[in-house]
Structure formats: structure tokens, C-alpha cells
Amino acid sequence: MSRCWLTGASSGIGAALALRLLEQGHQVALGGRHAARLEPLAERFPGQVLLAIGDLDAPQQVAAICSQIEQAWGALDLVILNAGTCEYLEPGRFDPVLVERVVRTNLFAVSHCIQQALPLLHRGQRPHLVVMGSSVSWLALQRAGAYGASKAAVRYLVESLRIDLAAEGIDTTLVSPGFVDTPLTRRNDFPMPQLWSAERAAGHIINRLPQRPLEIAFPGLFTWVLRLLGALPAGLRMRLGQRLARKAEG
């Protein structure tokens, strides 16, 4: 069984992934900001759980988490960087502070996690790095500028990094989900086509991880349509976006 570090394990897809991994018998370092949300899993699966509590936006806390994992296990076989956030830019109210906040969590924190995890993966057995992206990176949508930009950057980072990591014996998978029912998406005020439960999304991911694919994208029809629309000429994408756009308030 593998030694795994899972970030964002206290809710949504992360919580569902945590339960699946533990039920399969893996040792899992459960990442989150609040220990109280993860302690029930530690009690339910004694000897399998390491509570990896900290704020991933703070590089020194990321380093401390990985030092804790190193002292406990010495290496990692699987790293799933799932933690992330989403905020929307409202029409007529561009907010660079919001952009910075989202990019800091979705890109910079992931980068610090990768930096600290790689030495542990190099010591692991058949090491595998998994990073949570988003299907939004295929098609620009109104209000999603901050979130989409952060996830587009994650896509490029992972696809570039995997070239080097392949030579080092580390497999890399990018996960690109569509809409999943999580505490974050429950705040959305727009229709979410082909919405999946977190449990279904986690099961889909877990079932495909053994094949170590370059990418896991779901739901199939939704992500296929986004890819197709994202490949349209820029003018057509612009007109499509205008038809879907929300008008500025006031």
C-alpha cells in the first residue's frame, strides 16, 4: 500500500478521495487547515492517518508539513494536490487583489507543495504526482478570469514539469473536472450542467489512477464540448462569451 499526501482533504472531492484511499488500506497524510475536520478519519482508521495540518499559502508551513511526513514515513509514493479556491470577478468591478488571492492558492501554493514533495517522491516506490486542474482552462468564461487563469497556469506548469519528471521516474497526472457538488460550487449562482457528486468524482479519479494517465477529465461529454468550443477561432469564442455574459450591475 502507498504512502500518500492528500491536500484539501477536509471537504468536497478531497474528503471523498481521503475516504476511498483509506478504505483501500493506504497510509494517508490528510492535509487541511483545521484538525477537527480530519480527526474522525484518524479515529476511524488508526495507524493509517497522519494529520498534515497547515496553511498551504504559507511556504514555511508547507515545508513543516513535508518535514513531518519525512519523519513519519521517510518517503511518499503518491501526492494528490487537491486544495484550491474559487472566486469570481463581477462585471464592471475588476479586482486585482482577488486575482492575486486566487492565483496564490491555486498556483503558488501548488508550486511550493511540489517543491517540498519531490524529494520525498524520489525516495518512493513508483512515485506518482497528481494535481487538480479544471476543465475551465479549455474555454474562457465570463467572471472566471481569476480562477481560469490560475488553472490554465496549473495546466501549463504540470504539462511542462511532467517532461522532466518522466526522466526522473515520476509519473504525473492532471485532473480536469467539470462541475462537482462541493462547498465551493454550492455558492455558484448559475446553472452547472452535468453536475457530479464529490463521491462520484472521487471514485472516477481513484479508478483511473492505477493506469497513471496523463490526464483525467470528466464528465466526458461536458469536457469534450469545452475542448471543442475552446478550439474555435477567437472571434467565435468572443461572440459565444457575449451571448452567455452577465451584464454589469448598476
pLDDT of residue 189: 84
The pLDDT score that the predictor gives to residue 248 is 53
Q: Comparing C-alpha atoms, which of 172, 175, 162 is closest to residue 217? A: 175
Range 217-224 average pLDDT: 95
pLDDT bin (cut points 50, 70, 90) of residue 250 is very low
> 0.85 cut: is pTM over it?
yes
Name the percent of the chain lying above pLDDT 90: 87
> How does pLDDT run across 171-199, given as a tens digit for each residue?
999 999 999 999 888 888 888 999 999 99
* pLDDT of 246: 62
Listed by start position, the domains of the chain span 3-244
Cβ within 8 Å of residue 240, ≥6 positions away: 229, 232
Mean model confidence pLDDT for the chain: 95
According to the model, what pLDDT value does residue 186 have?
87
Average pLDDT over residues 90-110: 96
Name which CATH class applies to 3-244: alpha beta
Give yes or no for residue 247 having a pLDDT over 70.
no
Cβ(17)–Cβ(206) below 8 Å: yes
Query: Does the pLDDT of residue 27 top 50, yes or no?
Result: yes
